Amino acid sequence: MCGIIGFVGSGEAAPVLLDGLKRLEYRGYDSAGVAVSGADGINMVKTIGKVEELVKKVHECDRLRGSCGIGHTRWATHGIPSDINAHPHMSEDGKFAVVHNGIIENFTALRSEFEQKGVKFQSETDTEVIVCLLAYYYDGDVKKAIMKTLSRLEGSYAIGILCADEPEKIYAAKVASPLIIGVGAGENFFASDITALVSHTKNVIDLDDGEIVEMTADSLVIYNHAGKPVEKPAKFVAWDIAAAEKNGYEHFMLKEIMEQPGALKATIEPRIKDGWIVFDDIDIDMTKFNRILITACGSAYYAGCVGRNVIETLCRIPVEAEVASELRYRHPLVDEKTLVIVVSQSGETADTIASMKECKKLGATTLAIVNVVGSTIAKLADNVIYTWAGPEIAVATTKGYTTQVAVLDMFAMWAAEKLGRISEEEYKSLLVDLMRLPERAQRALDLSSRVKKLADKYYDRSSLFFIGRNIDYSVCLEGSLKLKEISYIHSEAYAAGELKHGTIALIEPGRLVVALCCLEELFEKTVSNIEQVKARGAQVLGVALENNRRIFSEADDVLLVPVTNKLLVPVIEIIPLQLFAYYVARKNKCDIDKPKNLAKSVTVE
Ligand code: AGP
C-alpha cells in the first residue's frame, strides 16, 4: 500500500505535496518523491527513506517551481526500496511522470513488450510500464493516451499523471485502489485518502473504478471508462486529521483487522496463475529436504505453528516450529537437508535474525515470509515470499498474522504439488477455498457487533483459557496472545486434551474458557473437554463452523465462522478472537495501538 497525492492551484505545489505525503506516511515509508510541472518541463526529486529525507532534498534543490505536481510515499512490493525505484517514474522522453498505488499484475509481459521496442527501463518496479504506455500512446491527446494505457493494465492501481505539454493540469485514474478528489477554492487535489486533503478542503469526491479525472486550478472534469464526462457531487467530510489517518476507525488495530479481506486478496490472488500457485521469486527444490523447521517470534511463531500443521499434513515430511529465541541457543540439528522457514512481519526481529543466521551457518536453505520488502530478513534469506498486507501500524499484529498463515497455506500446497504428495483433485478443491478466504474473512468480520456484545459481557474476567486441539490449538495460541498484549488480561492457550493432566485444577466457577472447535474430526473430543470444564463451573464461549448446531447445547455463548477447508480455517477462526481482544481492551480503556511495554518490532534480544 502506498500513498499518492496531486495538487494544482495558484501557490507553489511542492510544499503542499510534501505536507500531504507526511500525512500519508503511515501508508508506506520506505521511499518518497515529488514531481512538479514547470515552464521548463517536469522536474522530479525522489529518495529512499522517509518523507523527511525527501523534504531535505527538495529544500536543497530550486528546480521544483510550479503550481501543479504529484507526490508518492512508497510501500515496496516490486523492487527493493531505493532512489531509482522510488516514485514518481518518468517516461524516457520526459513527457510523462506517474505515481502509483497498487500492483500491475501483467507488468512482466508489458515490460518485455517495451524492451523489445528498445525501451531501457530504469527501475525494477511494475509502475514504470505505465509511463511507457502513456508515452507510446500519446499523440497530443493526454486523455486518449490515458484511456488506451488503462485498457492495457491488469491489477489494482490508483495513478496520478503529469504531462509536460500541459503544465497547468494533473490527471488521475483508479481501479481497485482508493483515490479521493479534493475540491478547493482555486485549487484541486487527489490523494489516496482524506488524510492528505482534510487540512485544505473537506469537499471530496470518491472516484469510481475506471474513471479518469482531469484537473486545473479552477476546473475539474471526471470521465467515465468510455471517456464521457460524468457529474459527481462533492460530499462534505467532517473528519479531523487523526480520524482520517485511521480512515475513520478509532484505532489502527481495528482498521487493520477490517483490512484483512483486502490484505488476503492482495497476498493470494497475484500468486494464482491458470489454476496453479506460482511463486515467481523462489528457487527451492523440495526433493532436497528431509525436514522443515519453522522459526519466528510471537504471533509470527504462532502463524508458524499453523503452518507446521498444514505443511506436515499435505507434504508428509517432518515439520517442526521452534521459537527463534530458543532455537538460536539449542545447537539445532540443521543441515543442508533442512529447509528453514523464517516468518516475520517487520523482517527486523533480532532473535529471528540470529536464529536464521545460525541455521544458514549450518547449511540450511532459508525461505523468509515477511511483510517489509528489503528488510534485513528478506535480504538475508535465500528465498522470500512477501505478505502484501501493506504497512501494519498497530503493535498487535492482525493482518500481518493472517497473511503469514495464508502464505504458509499456499507454500504447503505448492510444496505438496512439487513433491507429488497431493492429488490434482484435492489441490483444486483446496485452491477454491483458498481463493474464497477474503470473502469468508469478510463474513467473519461481520460478527463484529456480536463479538462486541460478548466482550461487554466478559471484559472483567481474569485468567481466561483458550482451548483447542490440533490446528484449533495453534489458533488458541494467537488468540490468547492478542488478549494479553492489548487488554493486559492474563490468559493461557492450552491443548484441550492436556487440561486434565493438572491445569484443570485452575478451573473454578465463573472462569471463562474459549473453546475452539472448528476441526470437525475432533469436535466430539473437544466437546468432552468443554463438559469437563463446565462440570467445574467454567463458562464456555464456543467457536465453531457455521454448519455446527451441537455447539449450542454445549457452550454458554457461541460464535460461528464460515465453513472452509479444515486446513484453511485458522485464517477465518482467528478473526473473532482478534475482535474479542480488541473490544475487551476498548471496554477496559487500554492504549490499544501502543500497549504498555511493547514495541512493533523487537530489534533487541
Ligand atoms: C504480535 O501481536 C506482537 N506484536 C509480537 O508478538 C510480534 O508478532 C513478534 O514480536 C514478531 O514480530 P515480527 O513478526 O515483526 O518478527
Q: Which amino acids are annotated catalytic?
A: 2, 600
pLDDT over 80 at 239, yes or no: no
Please check whether residue 605 is in contact with residue 402, taking contact to mean a CB–CB distance below 8 angstroms: no
- Which pLDDT does position 529 carry in this prediction? 97
Give the confidence band of 27 by pLDDT, cuts at 50, 70, 90.
confident
Using CA positions, which residue lies closest to atom 7 of ligand 1?
298
Please check whether residue 412 is in contact with residue 277, taking contact to mean a CB–CB distance below 8 angstroms: no
Helix H or strand E segment including 489 = none
In whole angstroms, give the CA distance from residue 172 to residue 99: 9
The boundaries of every CATH 3.40.50.10490 domain in the chain are 250-435, 440-591
Mutate to test the pocket of ligand 1, among 370, 397, 488, 602 (most ligand atoms within 8 A of CB): 397
In the chain, pLDDT over 70 holds for what percent of residues?
A: 99
Dihedral angle at the C-alpha atoms of 319, 324, 330, 331, nearest 10 degrees?
80
Strand partners, 544: 560
Q: What is the mean pLDDT of residues 393-399?
A: 94
Among the residues of 117-155, which ranges form H helices? 128-137, 142-152
Comparing CA positions, the residue from 424, 105, 404 lying closest to residue 275 is 424
- Which pLDDT does position 378 carry in this prediction? 93
561 CA distance to ligand 1 middle (Å): 25
The residues near 297 (Cβ < 8 Å, ≥ 6 apart) are 323, 324, 325, 344, 349, 351, 352, 602
Q: What is the reported pTM?
A: 0.81
The vertex-444 CA angle with 440 and 449, nearest 5°, equals 150
In whole angstroms, give the CA distance from residue 286 to residue 280: 16
578 CA distance to ligand 1 middle (Å): 14
Distance of CA 115 to the CA centre of its chain: 31
Pocket of ligand 1 (CB under 6 A): 297-300, 344-346, 349, 352, 395-397, 485, 601-602
Please check whether residue 5 is in contact with residue 21, taking contact to mean a CB–CB distance below 8 angstroms: yes
Fold of 250-435: Rossmann fold (3.40.50)
In whole angstroms, give the CA distance from residue 14 to residue 36: 7
228 CA distance to ligand 1 middle (Å): 49
For residue 398, give the ligand 1 atom closest to its CA.
Answer: 2
- Which pLDDT does position 243 carry in this prediction? 66
Q: Which residues of 395-430 are buried (b: 16+ CB within 10 A; e: fewer)?
A: bbbbbbbbbbbbbbbbbbbbbbbeeebbeeeebeeb
Using CA positions, which residue lies closest to atom 6 of ligand 1?
298
Fold of 440-591: Rossmann fold (3.40.50)
- C-alpha cell read off for 372: 517489509
- Which pLDDT does position 193 carry in this prediction? 83
Q: What is the maximum span of the chain, computed from C-alpha positions, in angstroms?
A: 81
Mutate to test the pocket of ligand 1, among 299, 351, 486, 487 (most ligand atoms within 8 A of CB): 299
Classify residue 487 as exposed, middle or buried by CB count within 10 Å of its CB (0-12, 13-18, 19+). Answer: buried
Give the confidence band of 175 by pLDDT, cuts at 50, 70, 90.
very high
- Which pLDDT does position 568 carry in this prediction? 98
Classify residue 131 as exposed, middle or buried by CB count within 10 Å of its CB (0-12, 13-18, 19+). Answer: buried
- Which pLDDT does position 280 carry in this prediction? 86
Using CA positions, which residue lies closest to atom 5 of ligand 1?
298
The vertex-327 CA angle with 325 and 331, nearest 5°, equals 130
The boundaries of every CATH 3.60.20.10 domain in the chain are 3-239
- Counting DSSP H helices and E strands in the chain, the numbers are 20, 27
- Which pLDDT does position 602 carry in this prediction? 75
Average pLDDT over the chain, rounded to an integer: 95
pLDDT over 80 at 361, yes or no: yes
pLDDT digits (tens, 9 = 90+) for 82-114: 999 999 999 999 999 999 998 899 999 999 999
Give the confidence band of 244 by pLDDT, cuts at 50, 70, 90.
low
Print the SS3 string covering 238-260: CCCHHHHHCCCCCCHHHHHHHCH
428 CA distance to ligand 1 middle (Å): 33
Using CA positions, which residue lies closest to atom 16 of ligand 1?
344
- Which pLDDT does position 62 carry in this prediction? 85
Give the confidence band of 494 by pLDDT, cuts at 50, 70, 90.
very high
Amino acid found at 72: H
In whole angstroms, give the CA distance from residue 272 to residue 417: 14
pLDDT digits (tens, 9 = 90+) for 527-574: 999 999 999 999 999 999 999 999 999 999 999 999 999 999 999 999
Please check whether residue 395 is in contact with residue 600, taking contact to mean a CB–CB distance below 8 angstroms: yes
Please check whether residue 112 is in contact with residue 100, taking contact to mean a CB–CB distance below 8 angstroms: no
Q: What is the mean pLDDT of residues 210-223?
A: 97
In whole angstroms, give the CA distance from residue 121 to residue 399: 33
Q: State whether residue 462 is helix, strand or coil.
A: coil
In whole angstroms, give the CA distance from residue 414 to residue 13: 48
In whole angstroms, give the CA distance from residue 298 to residue 324: 9
- C-alpha cell read off for 391: 504497512
pLDDT digits (tens, 9 = 90+) for 114-172: 999 999 999 999 999 999 999 999 999 999 999 999 999 998 899 999 999 999 999 99
pLDDT digits (tens, 9 = 90+) for 48-57: 999 999 999 9
In whole angstroms, give the CA distance from residue 155 to residue 174: 11
Beta strands in 146-281 (DSSP E): 155-163, 170-175, 180-183, 188-191, 203-206, 212-215, 220-223, 229-230, 235-236, 272-273, 276-277
Helix H or strand E segment including 405 = helix 399-418
Mutate to test the pocket of ligand 1, among 257, 405, 594, 601 (most ligand atoms within 8 A of CB): 601
In whole angstroms, give the CA distance from residue 229 to residue 220: 10
Rg, C-alpha atoms of the chain? 25
pLDDT digits (tens, 9 = 90+) for 77-86: 888 889 999 9
The residues near 233 (Cβ < 8 Å, ≥ 6 apart) are 205
Q: Which residues of 67-104 are buried (b: 16+ CB within 10 A; e: fewer)?
A: bbbbbbbbbbbbbbbbeebbbbbbbeeebbbbbbbbbb
- Which pLDDT does position 247 carry in this prediction? 80
What is each CA distance from 365 to 91, 304, 341, 368, in whole angstroms? 40, 17, 9, 10
In whole angstroms, give the CA distance from residue 294 to residue 343: 8
3-239: CATH number = 3.60.20.10
Among the residues of 25-161, which ranges form H helices? 51-60, 107-116, 128-137, 142-152
Please check whether residue 299 is in contact with residue 478, taking contact to mean a CB–CB distance below 8 angstroms: yes
Residue at grid coordinates 476441526: 519
Please check whether residue 86 is in contact with residue 33, taking contact to mean a CB–CB distance below 8 angstroms: yes
